[in-house]
A = this chain, B = another copy of it.
Amino acid sequence: MDFELKILGSSSATPAPDRHHTAQVLTIGNQINLIDCGENTQMQLMRYKVKHQRISNIFISHLHGDHFFGLFGLLSTMHLQHRSAPLQLFGPPGLAEILTTQFRYSFTQLSFKLIFHELNTSVHEQIFEDKFITVHTLPMQHRIPCCGFIFREKPKLRHLVKEKLPNFLTPPQLIRLKHGEDIYAENGELLVANADVTREPNYSRTYAYCSDTRYKEDILPYIKHVDLLYHEATFLDELQQQAAYTMHSTARQAATLALKAEVKRLLIGHFSVRYRDLEPLLLEAQSVFANTQLATEGKTIQVLE
């Protein structure tokens, strides 16, 4: 099953000519999630051939424009192209009112059902669940209410080892084996030990998205050992004071968090327009946590099972 992240924008609030505001596409199996939606996201989706009609969930971290000003245009285009599938929208208080105000003045009655989930950005809680994944909020510390998101694949079914399966097993018994159960006879006798006929399920993958925030260690328990951590890195560490003042992080801080959380890979993004060359940000992060990459436009990261 796919577990793929695609970066649509790497820029912090002030745009740079060749960078776009924050937006990411997380594909898990057939499900496409959009994480944040900076201005022009619909064009970036087009550029990277992501069909917007296939997006089923949109997660908005906070109401600074560089993280959601593309939402109006994207929803409008979905509407103009006669989307009928419902769309789940997760965002902070206020987002619904902002959208409703716009729709009222443009006399827009959306062609699809927009299901808005208002987030409590100050807690870590589950906000979404389906057959394959859960999504939880990650409380950030920024100038306005803000949260990140952690996407976790649910535990998967064990694999049956066909050549070891006795042929008397019924389909319901096979399913129970996949769920890790042993099979007993009616008299209580062990018929098939799970460990003898199954092997470990595929690995369940995790992606944590830490949007605009100052350095914040209290999220460590939530992001411990994730496969892929995105963390904003607006500044180099020499501007640590400015980072603290604007409630952003430095590349070194992002890497320090990755190291302490013992994550597998780190992606840094949300770069200040002052950095035309991003290499120093990458090198600074890698000096603390080697397995770091830049979250630049068009980059695609596969997380393998």
Residues of chain A touching chain B, judged by Cβ–Cβ distance below 8 Å, are 13-15, 17, 21, 39-40, 42-43, 46-47, 63-66, 69-70, 72-73, 76-77, 80-81, 92-95, 97-98, 101-102, 104-107, 143-144
Contact = CB atoms under 8 A, between A and B. Distances in A.
A14 B80 contact: yes
Contacts of A63: 102, 105-106
A248 B134 CA distance: 45
A69 B73 contact: yes
A13 B21 CA distance: 21
Contacts of A104: 94
A245 to B, nearest CB: 14
Given A70-B39, A106-B63, A144-B107, A15 B77 contact: yes
B94 A105 contact: yes
A95 to B, nearest CB: 8
B105 A143 contact: no
Given A39-B69, A107-B143, 9 more contacts: A13-B80, A14-B81, A39-B42, A39-B43, A65-B76, A65-B106, A98-B101, A98-B105, A107-B144
Contacts of A76: 13, 65-66, 69
A36 to B, nearest CB: 14
A179 B121 CA distance: 65
A10 to B, nearest CB: 14
Contacts of A106: 63-65, 144
A70 B81 CA distance: 20
A113 B186 CA distance: 81
Nearest to A94: B105
Contacts of A144: 105-107
Q: Count chain B CB atoms within 10 A of each CB in A14, A42, A69, A77 and give the residue with the most.
A: A69
Given A40-B39, A72-B69, A14 B101 contact: no
Nearest 10 CB-CB pairings of A with B = A94-B105, A39-B73, A40-B40, A65-B76, A63-B105, A69-B73, A69-B72, A101-B101, A63-B106, A14-B80
A21 B81 CA distance: 16
B94 A98 contact: no
Contacts of A17: 43, 46-47
A38 B95 CA distance: 20
A40 B66 CA distance: 12
Contacts of A42: 15, 39
10 contacts: A13-B77, A15-B46, A15-B77, A39-B42, A40-B43, A63-B102, A63-B105, A65-B73, A66-B73, A66-B76
A43 B69 contact: no
Nearest to A100: B101
B77 A14 contact: yes
A39 B47 CA distance: 16
A209 to B, nearest CB: 20
Nearest to A47: B17
